[in-house]
């Protein structure tokens, strides 16, 4: 673990798992007993079903590589935003509509750093972590593989430009 600005160890937790996660428990694991944290931002991505046709979203990943990619992004976020800690959990397997897919929790001395750290991690995770999504439909079985969205690339590009301008 690296040390934060207060000298307290910085926690970086990255997990990829099939089972659901406990949001409150993950926040407590990151922040419990810490007095250097002034803000916590959490983001939970859910399986969306527009139109009521989805039975599940299947998420596949490249084991080992996905964890390394997310950890590298998380460590950049800790350094860039001077976070006290960050947690990233991404599920794989078949996830029903309304089910949790991803959790990001960023802790920092101040709110803007926590917001920026969580947003930075999500924007890079959406483009750089090796995950593939396939829709399974209620009628007709397997649907299409889900393509990456231009908006995700644009969000990442904004961070890349900000990092370039700051010399990081």
CA 104, chain centre distance (Å) = 4
Question: What does the pLDDT look like over 16-74, one tens digit per residue?
Answer: 999 999 999 999 999 999 999 999 999 999 999 978 889 999 999 999 999 999 999 99
- Residue 104 in contact with residue 87, Cβ under 8 Å? yes
Residue 167 is predicted with a pLDDT of 67
Q: How far is CA 143 from CA 12, 53, 82, 90, 148, in A?
A: 35, 10, 42, 22, 16
Which residues span the domain enclosing 40?
A: 2-166
**Domain containing 118 — which CATH number?**
3.90.1170.40
Question: What does the pLDDT look like over 103-145, one tens digit per residue?
Answer: 999 999 999 999 999 999 999 998 888 999 999 988 877 777 8
1 pLDDT exceeds 50?
Answer: no
Sign of CA dihedral 152, 38, 88, 4: positive
**Backbone φ and ψ of 126, nearest 5°:** -65, -25
Q: Among the listed ranges 11-15, 31-35, 90-94, 150-154, which one has the minimum average pLDDT value?
A: 150-154
Residue with tokens 């080992």: 64
User: Residue 8: which pLDDT band, with cuts at 50, 70 and 90?
Assistant: low
Looking at per-residue confidence, does 13 or 127 come out higher?
13
161 pLDDT exceeds 80?
Answer: no
User: Residue 149: which pLDDT band, with cuts at 50, 70 and 90?
Assistant: confident
Residue with tokens 């979203």: 57
Residue 5 is predicted with a pLDDT of 47
- Residue 125 in contact with residue 74, Cβ under 8 Å? no
Q: Which of 155, 31, 164 is nearest to 87 (CA)?
A: 31
Number of domains in the chain: 1
């Amino acid at each position: 673990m690296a040390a934060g600005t207060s000298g307290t160890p910085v926690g970086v937790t990255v997990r990829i798992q099939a089972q659901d996660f406990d949001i409150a428990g993950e926040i407590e694991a990151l922040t419990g007993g810490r007095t250097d944290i002034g803000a916590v931002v959490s983001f939970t991505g859910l399986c969306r079903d527009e139109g009521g046709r989805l039975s599940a979203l299947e998420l596949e990943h490249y084991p080992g590589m996905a964890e390394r990619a997310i950890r590298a992004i998380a460590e950049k976020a800790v350094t860039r935003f001077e976070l006290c800690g960050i947690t990233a959990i991404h599920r794989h397997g078949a996830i029903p509509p309304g089910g949790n897919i991803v959790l990001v929790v960023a802790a920092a001395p101040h709110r803007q750093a926590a917001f920026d750290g969580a947003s930075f991690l999500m924007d890079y995770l959406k483009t750089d972590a090796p995950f593939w999504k396939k829709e399974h439909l209620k009628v007709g079985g397997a649907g299409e593989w889900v393509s990456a969205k231009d908006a995700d690339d644009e969000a990442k590009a904004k961070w890349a430009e900000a990092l370039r301008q700051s010399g990081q």
